[in-house]
Amino acid sequence: MLFRPSRRQIITGMASAGLLMAGPRAFAQAPKRVVIPEGEFTPLPIAITNFVAGTPGDAEVGVGVSQVITNNLKRSGLFAPIDQAAFIERISNPDSPPQFQSWKQLGAQALVLGRMTRQGDGRLKAEFRLWDVNQQQQLAGQQYFTSPEYWRRIAHIISDQIYERLTGEKGYFDSRVVFVDETGSKERRVKRLALMDQDGANVRYLTKGSDLVLTPRFSPSTQEITYMEFGQGDPRVYLFNVETGQREIVGNFPGMSFSPRFSPDGQRIIMSLQQGGNSNLFVMDLRSKSMTRLTDTPAIDTSPSYSPDGSRICFESDRGGKPQIYVMSANGGGAQRISFGEGSYSTPVWSPRGDYIAFTKQGGGAFAIGIMKTDGSGERILTSGFHNEGPTFSPNGRVVMFFRDPGGNAGPSLYTVDISGRNELRVPTPGFASDPAWSPLLS
């Protein structure tokens, strides 16, 4: 087999090979790099102006919206709203660019302007603009229409927009919290199911208080709540629709059913059923009402919680002697213990982000709230004291709410803490409050 290249072909081949080898080496003149490795986290200074009244008579709601946004951002711990008394420029038209220099003087890095206008049909139009003071650029701008009585929700939605644009994470302000409201003396405590905005406003009561209610849980996808109620006999798991006010018993089983929680799609409820001296995990399909057993052990398995993708479950079990946290497939099967610290672990709850599991840890005479990664590593105690219990994640997984009982004659209150352990704050409630559960974002 012979190949006969012409001389021309040979020369061309050699030349191209040479070119290939002596390929151009471009040395681009790169600027000298100076590394700025420091920089502690600092709350972002932000100026939030009162929303201008587009129509007379809406000045009050404009101030209200501004106050709700200010309160939300301040409570998040990530922003430092600047006192309005220091403002130099008075905003009369939020559509024209502000005098950035006057805001720069205050040290503001972001500026919020807005307007509330009553529409002809009685609805309220809310407009807002978020400005970057240094770059003199608009970062966000939106308008919303709503019934006048829902102006607080508009304020929460705008807060979420600002939060997301300036932190890169989803917000959590447009959400609600269901909790057990407690009134009366310690011996005759009346416990009612209550619902409120995440900032403590708009409290309303869902039950009358004649029966004891415990462990309310929000559906991750619908406006439904499941909870446990001690009626005339054994405690039962109930389903409650927030919008319609309807409630129903989930299944009818012999013995106690407790610690219910929704699956991520809201179509199933996972719970514990007591059988003799032990309890096991069951999942019930809300449509077909069919029950599936997930564990079958002589121990107490309880407090199950789904991972956000619905593939796994974390739960509490004393099968190893003391209550510890276990993780297993959502279809049952072998469970893997993930908590190995001193003391006992209970009430595990999976973060909506899927990265952490929050828990109550008991040991050394104290109750602590902590988080750990889903494989049990990176355990971190967020707060510790006489009695802290019942963690629940904010919709963005950045904040944990729990209740704290100081002991004595006082009752429990709700608190929030960042998952880094910073910024612990009390959530205002009308009376004592326990067992909070955070809803998903409403919008």
Partner 1 sequence: MNVKVDKTVLASVALHVLVLGWVMLSFSTKALEMPPEDSVPVDVVSSDQLSKVMAGMKTGKKENPKPLVEKIAEAKPVDDTVGKISDKAPVVTETAPPPQPKAEEKPVEKKPDPPKVVEKPKEEAKPVEKKPEQKVDQIGDTIKKEEKKPPPKPVQAAKPPEPPKQQRIVERHFDQNQIAALLDKRDPTRQATTGDTMNSNAALGTAKGTAADNSATWGAMFQRQVERCWKKPYGGIESQKPEVAFAIRLKRDGTLEGAPVPEGVPATPFLRVYQESALRAIIECQPYKLPAAFYEEWKYFAPVFKEKV
Q: What is the DSSP letter of 365?
A: T
Alpha-carbon distance of 142 to 111, in angstroms, equals: 14
User: Minimum CB separation from partner 1 for residue 377, in Å?
Assistant: 13
User: Minimum CB separation from partner 1 for residue 375, in Å?
Assistant: 14
User: Minimum CB separation from partner 1 for residue 418, in Å?
Assistant: 8
**Quick count: other Cβ atoms within 10 Å of Cβ 437?**
23
Q: Please, which residue, 192 or 398, has the CB nearer to partner 1?
A: 398
Coil, strand or helix: which one is 78? coil
Structure tokens at 253: 């089983």
**Nearest CA to 374 among 336, 400, 347?**
336
Q: For residue 81, what are the β-bridge partners?
A: 46
Q: What is the DSSP letter of 288?
A: T
Indicate the length of the chain as a whole number.
443
User: Minimum CB separation from partner 1 for residue 342, in Å?
Assistant: 22
**Nearest CA to 92 among 133, 49, 58?**
49
Q: Is the dihedral of CA 57, 58, 59, 61 positive or negative?
A: positive
Cβ-contact 419, 392 below 8 angstroms? no
Q: Please, which residue, 78 or 116, has the CB nearer to partner 1?
A: 78
User: Minimum CB separation from partner 1 for residue 382, in Å?
Assistant: 10
Q: Contact positions toward partner 1, by CB under 8 A?
A: 1-7, 10, 13, 17, 20-21, 23, 30-45, 77-78, 104, 109, 132, 134-135, 164-169, 355, 380, 398, 419-420
Q: What is the DSSP letter of 19?
A: H
| C-alpha of 218 from chain center | 12
Q: Please, which residue, 380 or 426, has the CB nearer to partner 1?
A: 380
How, if at all, do strands 247-249 and 257-262 pair? unpaired
Q: Please, which residue, 328 or 399, has the CB nearer to partner 1?
A: 399
Q: Please, which residue, 146 or 374, has the CB nearer to partner 1?
A: 374
Q: Please, which residue, 215 or 307, has the CB nearer to partner 1?
A: 307
User: Minimum CB separation from partner 1 for residue 356, in Å?
Assistant: 9
Q: Please, which residue, 28 or 85, has the CB nearer to partner 1?
A: 28
User: Minimum CB separation from partner 1 for residue 39, in Å?
Assistant: 4
